[in-house]
Amino acid sequence: MSTRPPLARSIPFWGLLVVSLGTAAGGAFLLTSKLGSMTAVLTDNTATPVDVYVGQSVAVAGAVLLGAGIVGIFLTLAVAAYATLRPVPAVEVVEPVAAAPEFDEVAPAAAPVVTTEPVVASEPVVESAPLVDDAPADERDDVTPR
């Protein structure tokens, strides 16, 4: 079972937040700067067709970027709210293991003892009766005549 990292360490979450904030800020700057310049040239009666027609398209593009950034920020907030609803995995408490003795403190192991005596079974071997009776049918006790 894989565990997901907490939201504070999630790179996609922070990436979504940074890109959304950047998009919203860029769209807001584009929209306000273009609308400000259009307002200035239209009130001065010095507007050219490029200022009016191209300025409107750029202002609409800025509004779209601002809206996309706001939607991204709302998505980031929704992901953060959903992350609080996830169950937290139970943390297992691991007790420390007693320290093993150091190798210097352990006595050297003795050489293995090799015996040349044959190994004798401690229990007698019991022979079992054969499973198939090889005696002819007429010598059997349990045979009944037909």
pTM over 0.85: no
pLDDT at position 123, please? 66
What total of structural domains would you count in the chain?
1
Q: Which domain holds residue 45?
A: 23-85
* 3-state per-residue secondary structure call for the chain: CCCCCCHHHCHHHHHHHHHHHHHHHHHHHHHHHHHHHHHHHHHCCCCCHHHHHHHHHHHHHHHHHHHHHHHHHHHHHHHHHHHHHCCCCCCCCCCCCCCCCCCCCCCCCCCCCCCCCCCCCCCCCCCCCCCCCCCCHHHCCCCCCC
Question: Does residue 8 fall inside a structural domain?
Answer: no
Residue range 104-136, pLDDT digits in tens: 555 556 666 666 766 666 666 666 665 565 666
Q: Is residue 12 part of a domain?
A: no
Average pLDDT of 39-60? 92
61 falls within a domain: yes
Answer yes or no: is 46 within a domain: yes
pLDDT on residue 115: 64
